[in-house]
Structure 1
Amino acid sequence: MKKSVGLLSLFLFIDLSASTEAAEQSAEWQKTLAAAKTEKEVTVFCEPTIDAQNALREFQKAYPEIQLKLFPIGARDFGNRVLAERRAGKYLADVFSGGTTTPSQVLAPAMALDSIRQTFTLPEVIDESLWFKKRFHFADQESRFVLLSDATVVSDLLTYNTKLVRPDEIRSLWDLLQPKWKGRIIAYDPRLPGGASNNMRFLYYNPRLGPKFIQRLFSEMDIVISSDRRQLMDWLASGRYPLALFVGREVETAKQQGLPVEEMYSVKTDGAMLTSGAGSVTLINRAPHYHAAKVFINWFLSRDGQIAWQKHTDRNSLRTDIAKQAITNWKERVPREDGDYIFTNLSEYDDLRPGRKIVEEALAKAKQK
């Protein structure tokens, strides 16, 4: 009897504690909302794609009393802007949503970001079990500042002209070293910042490929390098070259125009690359509208916010309580919980210098032949 009473008391205590915690979270949220309405606005900088902007504008519908001031800008330019403003004693930005390299490798070390976890208030945002592999994923080394909210399995590393190449000719990237492809491959310059960074991370840190593959690819295959992605796509679509590396989003534009190009989905034996596009969020240090920033971040990471993001961008939200079937080619692009991926935005894959050095040395060796 005493044991039963003890268990009942324990359950009542747990239930009461949970109820108290929920009430405290609700009270904190109401307090945050009230303060945000007093601030009246939130200043958010985001990647300049129309899809990203349309997704973030959904915030205004959810919180019409907080004016969303949205400024599209690339991550690198945003980083330069923030640091220049701080040197002048100006603190204008609240939130950045976009690429991960500049926030994690430039702004975080410069102490221009605050821990994003401090903004989490809504229970559904605090709960890590609602996210891919039941945890949050961060791009920065401390796992505090640059939260990754989307990640999609991508196959844009290698693109081909559908009139000149059959998918079954290339099952592994090692097949690119066959003599028949020598002098027939073009590539966006992997030595440049951004651009091919995620692709290079996948190649360099992939145990199935790694430094040896990179060295042979760029020293033996007479690859034509360009820093102009549109030129590369023109060459590929016209049939001047049958294969292209690192052309990124240009392939989607070309496909929409009906050009004979496609991503090489048949390359599966080398593993899969998981990348976050513009789907990260950071809280800027000394945000002028801190409470409004908290409301924006909680909305963005909520189910409603991530539904809006996934719908407009056609990229997979890392929240797992959202239906995925509306994503284009979702069976290929949505990561499986039991899948083995190289998630190229994680901090363990940050260092691109060794891979770029191999490319430099391989291209120099190729010129000497």
Structure 2
Amino acid sequence: MTRKSIAAAIRGGVLVLILASCGGAAPAQPSPSAPAEAAGPAASAASAGATWDTMLAAAKKEGKVIVTGAPDVATRQKLPAAFKQRYGIDVEYLPEATSVTARMQGERAAGQYNVDVILNGSDSVYGTLWPNGWLDPIKPILVLPDAIDGSKWRTGQPWFGDPRGDTVLRMFNTVSHGLTLNTQIVPVDQVPNGDALLDPKWKGKIAAFDPSVNGAGLAAGSALYVSKGKEWVSQLYKGQNVVLTRDYQQTPDWVAHGAYPIGIAVGRNYLEPYIKTGMTFAQPMLPDIRDYTGAGYGLLCLVNKAPHPNAARVFVNWMASREGTAVYAEAQAQVPVRNDVDTPWVPSDFVPQPSVKYLDTYDYEFLTKERLPIRDFYASLLK
């Protein structure tokens, strides 16, 4: 087709309807640094409205969307309820972010396709989902004006982190200090820098999410490795007898109960029940450890060959909107990439500052060239 005929098809809604019904290839995308050219505000709004109405009607006929994501209680309860209230579509929420890739490997080998949308971290997404070709582009199906309004995003447009810039939507960008102290037991001034963690008095009193597997432990472990080197992290994890877990709830429980009053890679959302009882924790900035940014379970992915493709697209659009982002960010205690969502649930120093150069542990290049090799180092160290 010529450019003239493609433009005519878009104005008539034909091309969009074809994409919605058969999941075909997306039209050529503009450069990520510039917004797409449009025929005009009125034409664009009319086209988006027609596309959304068609998509929503088909989604309601499908009746539900299957989403896998974070295992925490707040997300499991709040996200499905909010989406159901908005659109009347059920969410079958599977809290299996840490195991979904292995399950999908077996299911897809057997020709089974049981997942519509995935909310996950960078290791699973860029280490498995993306290279295996299990994802459809999100950028072409974002049609809600609220979702695609570049002025509502800190990045000037929806932030896609994959190499193609159209598939993996990053919803969060939160500063992490990596370390959590139970201040009832460990005053902040007793850990003024990273080297203080090697003090013999802390031996056997530190717990961490396992840095040798995908997840928050690897993000924190990567920041420590980049900041201090392999000899130092060996002294920390091995020499200080750091106790490891692969249960996201267990580390905050240990820290809160004082069994291990120092924690590495403790999710603030898991501490909230304790904070509400009056307990105090500190997540200090250490001068010799780089602060890093990440997204937790904030990478939004649209699975190809989905059993409920239209409901999946509606869910993705809603998640990218202000409402969906706010519900999810609060449940996860994260800082949204959107700039129109207030974040009273996180301390102000969790919000990235333009003048600070952070280690972005979710950057695709860092993950594939450094973070995954660091994971292999920890796997060898801690076996």
Q: Fold-level match, TM-score > 0.5?
A: yes
Q: Is the counterpart of residue 320 in structure 1 residue 339 in structure 2?
A: yes
Question: Which of residues 172, 181, 204 in structure 1 aligns to 2:193?
Answer: 172
Question: Which of residues 99, 113, 127 in structure 2 aligns to 1:105?
Answer: 127
Q: Distance in 1 between matches of 2:42 and 2:269?
A: 51
TM-score (norm 1): 0.78
Contact 1:187/1:247 (8 A) holds in 2: no
SS at match of 1:132: coil
AA aligned opposite 2:53? Q
Q: Distance in 2 between matches of 1:140 and 1:228?
A: 27
**What's the CA shift for 1:286?**
1.3
RMSD: 3.4
Q: Which residue of 1 aligns with 2:244?
A: 226
Q: Paired residues, what number?
A: 342
Q: Distance in 2 between matches of 1:100 and 1:266?
A: 23
Deviations 1:126-159 (A, max 9, x none): 233422232443454444332221232233x223
Q: Which moved more, 1:101-110 or 1:190-199?
A: 190-199
1:18–1:47 CA distance, 2 compared to 1 (3 A): same
**What's the CA shift for 1:305?**
1.4
Q: Which residue of 2 aligns with 1:333?
A: 350
Q: Which residue of 1 aligns with 2:206?
A: 186
Q: Distance in 2 between matches of 1:32 and 1:240?
A: 51
Question: Which of residues 143, 147, 163 in structure 2 aligns to 1:125?
Answer: 147
Q: Which residue of 1 aligns with 2:225?
A: 204
Contact 1:114/1:284 (8 A) holds in 2: yes
AA aligned opposite 1:152? T
1:253–1:95 CA distance, 2 compared to 1 (3 A): same
Q: Distance in 2 between matches of 1:138 and 1:235?
A: 36
Q: Distance in 1 between matches of 2:283 and 2:60?
A: 49
Question: Which of residues 174, 184, 201 in structure 2 aligns to 1:152?
Answer: 174
Question: Which of residues 44, 67, 81 in structure 1 aligns to 2:103?
Answer: 81
Q: How does 1:275-290 map to 2 (within 5 A)?
A: 275-290=294-309
Q: Which residue of 1 aligns with 2:81?
A: 57
Q: Which moved more, 1:87-96 or 1:162-171?
A: 162-171
Question: Which of residues 42, 59, 64 in structure 2 aligns to 1:36?
Answer: 59
Q: Distance in 2 between matches of 1:102 and 1:317?
A: 20
TM-score (norm 2): 0.75
SS at match of 1:345: coil
Identical positions, percent: 28
Q: Which residue of 2 aligns with 1:243?
A: 262
Higher Rg of the two aligned structures = 1
Which sections of structure 2, spanning at least 5 residues, go unmatched? 1-36
SS at match of 2:112: coil
